[in-house]
């Protein structure tokens, strides 16, 4: 994985420290585009429950790479592609989010007494129906002529060297190789995460959600240049993933509380709030809320693991290999 390793793993993008940034970005975009296409047939058939998740992740990574490498492309070329990706990601996300919370609810129902299971069945039916309804516009989008045109345009972009690459009046004045640019990009994203340390104890849930997004951006940036970084990068990447997953679990509990509360408000009035069905929903809200609060209290501990001296040292050594 180190910068001096000239071997190429076929399951890696093939980014090297001497690559120009536009072409390093093209390699990464092609790599994740291939994974997006790999999942598309499975999304159509619906036979693989993880296909929507995997296709969504591939698009997230594509859009993250566009964000990182945008200064090295002409905006007129890359931004229309990104708009289509955003539309696809939104349609996938509406299905996937409902799928996640439906599965969580199914697991919870399986642990409850029979009477409480009956009270939660209407919630499960409602979320299942909403998930099914969200699949229809997703499939229409994937079957549309606009989507096929997008695929053709994106394929041409990633397969054509220097297509859409930005040309400056004096390229020698602008750092343009991975080894020149990646250190700044990595530390910019690292700094965007570190800034939350200043008010971690009093951070709101919205701020912790934004911290999760910045952590994810740091992770994707590290992964983009992983082949050129020193071997210590794997330790930093593991710590970053752990923090991202922790903050993701916190956000999941928050969203679950919100979705259940909305269901309760929409389906029960003041008189019916005392029914077993309403009580079953309230019980589940309480459990999700308590888990959310427990995770919130554990944020400083999770942060310390990410911000440990050995992680900071590993980051410096991994970047120094460029």
| Cα 67–chain centre separation | 13
- The mean pLDDT value of the chain amounts to 92
113's tokens: 């007494």
Q: Is the pLDDT score of 109 beyond 80?
A: yes
State the residue for tokens 């991202």. Answer: 244
Domains of the chain by start residue, with CATH: 20-160 (1.40.20.10), 175-322 (1.40.20.10)
- Each residue of 135-172: pLDDT tens digit? 999 999 999 999 999 999 999 999 999 999 987 655 55
High-pLDDT (> 70) share of the chain, %: 94
- Tell me the residue length of the chain: 322
Query: Given this model, what pLDDT does residue 31 score?
Result: 97
**Does 174 score more than 80 pLDDT?**
no
- Cβ contacts of 178 within 8 Å, gap of 6 or more: 15, 16, 17, 18, 19, 21, 24, 225, 228, 322
CB contact at 8 A, 199 and 108:
no
From residue 22, how far is each of 72, 77, 176, 279, 313 by CA, in Å? 5, 13, 8, 57, 29
Dump pLDDT digits (tens) for 22-57. 999 999 999 999 999 999 999 998 878 799 999 999
Residue 192 CA from chain centroid, whole number: 17
Question: Residue 124: what pLDDT?
Answer: 95
Q: Which of 105, 106, 94, 103 is nearest to 131 (CA)?
A: 94
Q: Give pLDDT tens digits for 111-125.
A: 999 989 999 999 999
Assess whether pLDDT exceeds 90 at residue 201: no
pLDDT band at 5 (very low <50, low <70, confident <90, very high): very low
The lowest-confidence range among 130-134, 199-203, 243-247 is 199-203
The answer to whether 61 and 32 have CB atoms below 8 angstroms apart is yes
Directed axis angle between helix 75-109 and helix 276-297, to 10°?
A: 120
> CA 4 → CA 61, 170, 320, 321, distances in Å?
26, 29, 12, 8
**pLDDT confidence of residue 173:** 52
Is it the case that residue 214 has pLDDT exceeding 80?
A: yes
Tokens at 299, concatenated: 């944020």
Question: pTM score > 0.75 for this model?
Answer: yes
161 secondary structure, DSSP code: T
């Amino acid at each position: 994985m180190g910068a001096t390793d000239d071997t190429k793993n076929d399951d890696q993008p093939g980014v090297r420290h001497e690559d120009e940034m536009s072409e390093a970005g093209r390699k990464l975009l092609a790599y994740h585009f291939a994974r997006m296409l790999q999942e598309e047939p499975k999304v159509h058939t619906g036979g693989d429950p993880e296909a929507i998740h995997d296709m969504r992740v591939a698009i997230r990574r594509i859009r993250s790479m566009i964000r990182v490498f945008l200064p090295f492309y002409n905006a007129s070329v890359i931004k229309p592609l990104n708009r289509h990706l955003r539309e696809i990601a939104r349609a996938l996300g509406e299905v996937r989010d409902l799928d996640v919370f439906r599965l969580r609810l199914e697991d919870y129902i399986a642990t409850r007494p029979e009477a409480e299971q009956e009270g939660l069945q209407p919630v499960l039916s409602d979320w299942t129906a909403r998930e099914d309804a969200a699949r229809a516009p997703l499939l229409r989008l994937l079957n549309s002529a606009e989507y096929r045109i997008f695929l053709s345009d994106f394929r041409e972009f990633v397969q054509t060297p220097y297509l859409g690459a930005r040309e400056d009046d004096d390229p020698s004045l602008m750092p343009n190789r991975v080894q020149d640019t990646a250190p700044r990009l990595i530390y910019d994203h690292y700094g965007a995460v570190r800034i939350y340390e200043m008010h971690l104890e009093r951070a709101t849930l919205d701020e912790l959600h934004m911290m999760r997004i910045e952590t994810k951006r740091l992770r994707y940036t590290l992964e983009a240049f992983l082949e050129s970084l020193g071997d210590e990068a794997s330790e930093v990447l593991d710590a970053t993933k752990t923090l991202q997953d922790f903050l993701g679990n916190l956000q999941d509990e928050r969203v679950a509380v919100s979705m259940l509360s909305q269901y309760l408000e929409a389906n029960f009035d003041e008189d019916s709030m005392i029914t077993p069905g309403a009580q079953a929903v309230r019980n589940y809200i309480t459990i999700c809320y308590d888990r959310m609060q427990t995770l919130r209290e554990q944020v400083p501990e999770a942060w310390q693991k990410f911000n440990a001296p050995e992680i900071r040292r590993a980051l410096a050594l991994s970047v120094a290999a460029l």
